[in-house]
Structure 1
Amino acid sequence: MKNMLKGLGAALCVALPFIAQAPADAATPAATGAADQTLVQRGAYLAQLGDCAACHTAPKGKPFAGGLPMNTPMGRIYVTNITPDARTGIGGYTEADFARALREGVAKDGHNLYPAMPYPSYAKVNDDDVKALYAFFMHGVAPVQQANRESDIKWPLNMRWPLMFWNMAFLEKGAYRDKPGKDVAWNRGAYLVQGLGHCGSCHTPRGIAFQESALDESGSAFLSGALLDGWFASNLTGEHNTGLGRWSDEDLRTFLKTGANRHASAFGAMTSVINNSTQAMSDQDVAAVSTYLKSLPPAGGTGAAAYTYDPQATKVSLDRPANDAGARVYTAYCMHCHGVDGHGFAPMLAPLAGNPNVLAKDASSPINVTLNGTGDLVIDGVPSPFPMPGFAAVLDDQQIADVLSFVRVGWNNGAPAVGAAEVAKLRQSTQAGR
């Protein structure tokens, strides 16, 4: 159970079929005019802040050429080509076309995008940044001729026209405006978190129409944690147990740059966010994001008393593992990395005691990472030395339920037990097609 913590959870940017195939005689703005290299470089940085590569680059695929398959409750979709190829990418997009798709969810040919594409967040991106992003995608990305694949979503769920009404109800147009009474760092952090970072796309609960329950700090549900694609994206508010309440500013900045700190290690979709996005952020922007997130009041907690570490009862169980099924599994498979004391060897091997994700009411993330392990964190080109292995082939559903129940109670964690049926359900959904 190495690297068990998913600190900031995942920010999955699902870009559904978004770019219409351009006709052969389409205008190709990418081929006209001299590019301002300073603008292109700024756009490249902004594309990293938006984590565009995570969704638009398939494994072993060419950058931004699309093709990545993604499962949704409605069916499988394939991420689109956003290179400046005139036939299969966005080479025929003007800057106005690009801005409309990015901020309003409407493609060049007029069809609506599914709201899994985080355009409700990108609506807050200002004009200067849109211009820089457009310059990068038109002049800083190599064109790739790779046709987009149709989604597997069946009629009538694949119809786009109802999304016009969705946008009328839930899309808030207009770039971010600085909040009076807040300093420069806070406003920059708010702009990045709410806009390009689209953190709410994963970390904010969604309503029955798949709309985010809040788009900024004015809503109490904002960034309070949410279930998404088999993971529970972490609470990013100041909640003491399951949020960032015990994290210092330095803890948060370290996590954003490296994917691990004394509280948590990234896994799930957050691994991709660290690898492709946040580690590339400037120190000034990392500090701004931390300033904003640390200002959010507690929300979405379990109502439990503030966590305090207590190893005694857990140590007794580990001294007598024959009497506890979960302790038996822990001593055989987990203790050599996470320790008798539950502190692990942070930041290389994640702690379990007091872990915000272990303490969360929803156990999806601990179950998922125990079944399937973690991807490699790659910081400055160097993969992490101790990725969490998956135990799906080693432990049965009851064994995983037992060990996670042991961990979620251990060291005074006080979280609910895990049932074998919960493990079986996630095993089936996450192992399909492997």
Structure 2
Amino acid sequence: MSNRRVVRKLTLQISAICLGLGGLLPLSYAAKQVPVQAPSVQDTQQNLIARGQYLAIAADCAACHTDPGTQQPFAGGYAIHSPMGVIYSTNITPSKQFGIGTYSEQQFEQAVRHGIRADGSHLYPAMPYASYAGLTDDDVHALYSYFMQNVTPVDTHNKTTALSFPFNIRQMMWGWNLLFLKSGSYQNDPSQSAEWNRGKYLVDNLEHCGECHSPRNMMMAQKQGNDALSGAALGSWYAPNLTSDKLSGLGSWSREQLAQYLQTGDVPGKAQAAGPMAEAVTNSLQHLHDDDIEAIITYLQSLPAVAHPQQSKPTGDFGQASNVDTDVRGTAPMGIGLSQEMSGKALYDSACASCHQPDGQGTADHFYPSLSHNTATGGNTPNNLISAILFGVQREVKGKAIFMPNFGPDSQVQALSDQQIASLSNYIFQQYGNPDLHVTPEQVTVLRQGGKQPLLARIAGPASIGGIVLVVLIVLIVVIRRARQKSRG
């Protein structure tokens, strides 16, 4: 059954009975009349499983636990490129030999909310259990019911995650959890509306938006308070500011634009989803109920503004139509042997103009978007434009595939060097985007390799005993400070 059919079926099921997700659903999700006859046990179980399926979609479980190479749902094997190395997702089908088929509900809850597997070993925070820690008991129960009763077991071996020393010592996560893992499910804020509370629960817990959009502290934990959801580097990409700031955040977006972006990943003249956000739209956000989309927007628009001082005007307001100079149009060679000395405008004419048009305004149907009035070219970081060139863009919405080929080393159309991508990016920023941005070949090299490594990964590199000692000292200092703060409180 397609995702769309599942969601439509689920909408009817949830509208028919009062399922209340821990008291968080708005009234439109609940039946407004008491049924004359109580539902049968079978109906109740079916509704519970359907609810669990919706929660799994909202939590985007399939995105990480499905290997694109095999396309076996939830069978694991997806390579997550973290700053500490490659982490492979595990098989979470009810396979008794390789998956979670032998897990009790308590063991399932421990894995989802605390990052501890049935064998007692620790999961890495690539599994967003720090966000899932806030899931309600009812939601965990529904998820368990769905995975155990409605997911097909796949007897596939788990790929081995082999991080370098010291990150291969999973016991170290005990200290990280002690410092940064909050316990207890989400509690409604009585001073806020039901819609706001639902939105916060979705953003902070189920959809775990902060895992990408919140900056990290030195120990790679999400920063909280005013820094939450204020934008962060995400490997090669940049997850933008979601606060209500009018220049660098969402303050200049209307509710209609936000809803359209969440459900389609495309707002012409504003933004197009790429990278991890394209995956979120494809696998999760487009399948949410309208009420949940509205709740997310209500919560995001309530966030205090966090300004990025270097942003001079809204990210989507930069640029205008500007034709490629006629002296290069049509003269640039085609094929794989483009000269390293080619100018940015010649590279644009050769590699980009046929789709994005010579004036950079894209096609009339917006399949190929405009490069002006585009957050990828109007932000205060070049990461997303460079990454789109390096890795391409791919998402699927309502059965329609949106695709831009990559120009990286495995490109099927044109492999570009770091120097060429830097020249091309600078031309695009000058012609269509934020002219204050300037890209160097060295920046492209870093993004091609997965982005700048965080300090923790640099000081605790392979076989670095000094780094280990420093990390342990940092942990001890943080623990002592927290203990002192609690004693004073």
Give the TM-score taking structure 2 as reference length. Answer: 0.74
Say yes or no: does 1:42 pair with 2:60.
Answer: no
In structure 1, how many angstroms separate the alpha carbons of the residues matched to 2:201 and 2:435? 36
The partner residue of 2:302 within 277, 295, 301 is 295
Greater helix share, structure number: 2
Of stretches 349-358 and 270-279 in structure 1, the one that deviates more from structure 2 is 349-358
Closer, same or farther: CA 342–180 of 1 in aligned 2, 3 Å: farther
The residue identity in structure 1 corresponding to 2:233 is L
Q: Which runs of 5+ in 1 are unaligned?
A: 1-32
Displacement of 1:412 in angstroms is: 6.1
Higher relative contact order (CA 8 A, sep 6+): 1
Once residues 97 and 435 of structure 2 are traced to their aligned partners in structure 1, the CA distance between those partners, rounded to angstroms, is 56
| C-alpha distance in 2 between matches for 1:407 and 1:286 | 33
**Hey, what does 1:359 align to over in structure 2?**
378
| 1:93-108 alignment, distance < 5 Å | 93-108=103-118
Q: Secondary structure at the match of 1:315?
A: coil
Which stretch shows the higher mean deviation, 295-304 or 112-121?
Answer: 295-304
Are residue 413 (structure 1) and residue 423 (structure 2) matched?
Answer: no
Deviations 1:161-206 (A, max 9, x none): 2211211111111111222322121111110000010010011111
**Cα deviation digits, residues 48-73 of structure 1 (max 9, x gap):** 00000001111223211111223333
In structure 1, the residue corresponding to 2:388 is in which secondary structure? helix
Aligned residues: 389
CA contact (8 A) 2:87 2:126 kept: no
Question: Aligned with 1:220: secondary structure?
Answer: helix
**Percent of matched pairs sharing the same residue:** 40
Distance 1:310 1:319 in 2: 23
Deviation sequence 1:300-332 (CA, Å, 0-9, x none): 5243322495767x738746669x933333334
Residue type of the alignment partner of 2:169: M
For 2:328 and 2:239, locate their aligned partners in 1 and report how far apart those are by CA, in whole Å: 32
Q: 1:98: how far off?
A: 1.0
Structure 2 counterpart SS, 1:207: coil
Displacement of 1:38 after TM fit? 0.8
8 Å contact from structure 2 (residues 319, 433) kept in 1? yes
Specify the code of the residue in structure 2 equivalent to 1:225.
G
Bigger CA drift: 364-373 or 403-412?
403-412
| 2:190 aligned residue (180, 183, 192) | 180
Task: Provide the residue aligned with 1:390 in structure 2.
Answer: 406
Q: TM-score with structure 1 length normalisation? A: 0.83
2:64 to 52, 55, 66: 55
Query: Which residue of 1 is the match for residue 461 of structure 2?
Result: none
Q: Which runs of 5+ in 2 are unaligned?
A: 1-40, 330-341, 409-413, 452-489
Paired residue secondary structure (1:383): strand
CA contact (8 A) 2:323 2:359 kept: no
Return the alpha-carbon distance in structure 2 between the equivalents of residues 213 and 201 of structure 1. 10
Aligned residue for 2:297, secondary structure, equals: helix
Where 1:227 maps in the other structure, the secondary structure is strand
CA RMSD of aligned residues (A): 2.5
The answer (yes or no) to whether the contact 1:242–1:357 under 8 Å persists in 2 is no
Alpha carbons of structure 1 residues 236 and 181: separation in structure 2 relative to 1, 3 Å: same
Distance 1:410 1:400 in 2: 15
SS for the counterpart of 2:322 is helix
